Chain A
Amino acid sequence: MAKKEQFTEEINKLFYATAEMIYETDMQHGDGRNYWPFHPVLLDSLVAPFVFEELYRLFKILEKRKYSIKRIAKIIKSPPRIANYQYLWPSKTLKNVSSKKKKYLAEIFVKLLKILRNEQAYCENFQNLVWSSQEAEKFIKENKKDFVFRRKNPEIAKLLSKLEGLLMSYAELLYYYMLDFSRMFHGPYQHKDKVIFTKEFLGLKAGEMWNLVKDFPFNHFQEVGIYPGNIKIQIFFMGHTHVKPSFPEALESFMLKLDGKPITNFKEMQQYYQKTNKVVSQIVKFMAENMNNEKFLLKRGLDLFFYPLRDLYKEAGEDWRVILPKVHEFAKREKSKIRIPNPWGDWPKEKSINFLIKQMKKNLEYGKN
């Protein structure tokens, strides 16, 4: 296949996967107005040109330093992070970015997703394959002694699900509707007659972004769960999952690591749960008190798009916060000009997806030079 045709085919797949997810998140059962605390079109429009310009610039810096695409993928680590930046494609403000840069980025996004997902960039077969099957097996083998069995320890398993529920809300407090900047669920992987499914949360101790969470008890949560072979787990392009029966109900055994440290007893997990709950309660209270403080909420909403790129900036020898004043200034100037679309009503899936793809393709083709 000619290079141009191949590019077009890959872009079609990327845009289709993105449009399908936007349909499912924003259009299918609501109109996006249900988002907390802002309509996604507002924040996406305000950050999109900056995120794309910065990504282009950072990739180019690393490329000049002869970083391979695999090395860049390793720095980014999480495929849902890259997938979630695709939400920005329909933003009209992307007209401020040149078509050349956008085409370059689209190509890089696809390459990164393929590397980070073992070639299944779009979660084909509803799998997010961060590990190869050999890596999953190896992990189980190496960490065998730290697995906790639910039947023998029902209380610790129950506490684990409470902790995960809390982290889900915490991720949303930190990253708003872009919670997959933190959440990285991956699998399902086949393991003999069982299923392995891994839940990770990254970037939790985000004090650089929000001072209030600097004392969060850990930065990285990793739980590797073993489930019966008949569990039905589906994972989607942006990182969302569907499961039947529920995870806590089906869980057979698990291994939990917090910042790389295995947690195998109830008392220790309880201490972490209490510390987590304390921070979450504090920020819930703080956020509740500041729900009318639009300036604060907006600043947080803009910053959260750049914090996940911290390691890329670091690799380029830069600080992720340098760009923020420009973003804030742009938001201040342009916020009132962003038009929030009317409710979608009952648009059928095909119509919605076609509409979004058309918008994304227009954004890809046109831009300032």
Chain B
Amino acid sequence: MKVNQKIILKGIPASPGIAKGKVRIILDPSQTSKMKNGDILVTLMTNPLFVPAIQKAKAIVTDVGGLLSHAAIVSRELGIPCVVGTKRATKILRDNQQIKVDGEKGTIY
């Protein structure tokens, strides 16, 4: 999978690990059926209604939230990388775009 090595976005590192995959922007829990196994969930913020999407996600990236937000705490249990508080992930990233999420540095490539 080809991923650009340039940093596209920075946020708060919320759960360590590195994952590569396709972006899936989900702005509302009603869109969770769009999510495919191994996609990277990109959203404004998650809440428990995002469970079906989170179960399929390889990593999570959110616009808002901190270390104690829903996305952060759930991803730490699942052991998947998570970057929160990027402010504009849902604006900058596009569906199907190949990205790399570094949950330890809080960077998106």
Contacts and interface: CB of A to CB of B under 8 A. Distances in A.
A162 B78 contact: yes
A321 interface: no
Interface stretch (A23-31, A112-120, A293-301, A306-314): A23-31
A281 interface: yes
B70 interface: yes
B96 interface: no
B48 A287 contact: yes
Interface stretch (B2-10, B34-42, B59-67): B59-67
Interface residues of A, number: 35
Contact of A248 (B51, B73, B78): B78
B76 interface: yes
Given A36-B70, A170-B48, A249 B30 contact: no
A29 B48 contact: no
B74 interface: yes
A281 B17 CA distance: 27
A30 B77 contact: no
B79 A248 contact: yes
Interface residues of B, number: 31
B79 A24 contact: no
A185 to B, nearest CB: 10
A242 B104 CA distance: 12
A290 to B, nearest CB: 11
B25 interface: no
A37 B67 contact: no
A142 B54 CA distance: 36
* Chain A at the B interface: SS class: helix
A240 B73 contact: yes
B55 interface: yes
A243 B17 CA distance: 12
Given A162-B55, A288-B30, A34 B77 contact: no
Contact of B66 (A28, A169, A284): A28
A161 B66 CA distance: 22
A247 interface: yes
A60 interface: no
Interface in B74-104: 74-79, 84-85, 104
Contact of B79 (A34, A36, A169, A249): A249
Nearest to B85: A29
Nearest to A242: B67
Contacts of A164: 77-78
B12 A29 contact: yes
Q: Which 4 A-B pairs have the closest CB atoms?
A: A29-B66, A248-B79, A36-B47, A165-B78
Interface of B: 12, 15-17, 29-30, 45, 47-49, 51-52, 54-55, 64-70, 73-79, 84-85, 104
15 contacts: A29-B12, A29-B65, A30-B64, A36-B48, A161-B77, A165-B74, A240-B67, A240-B73, A244-B104, A246-B16, A246-B76, A247-B77, A249-B16, A249-B79, A284-B49
Given A29-B12, A29-B65, A288-B30, 14 more contacts: A28-B66, A29-B69, A34-B64, A161-B78, A162-B55, A164-B77, A165-B78, A166-B55, A167-B77, A240-B67, A240-B68, A246-B16, A284-B51, A288-B49
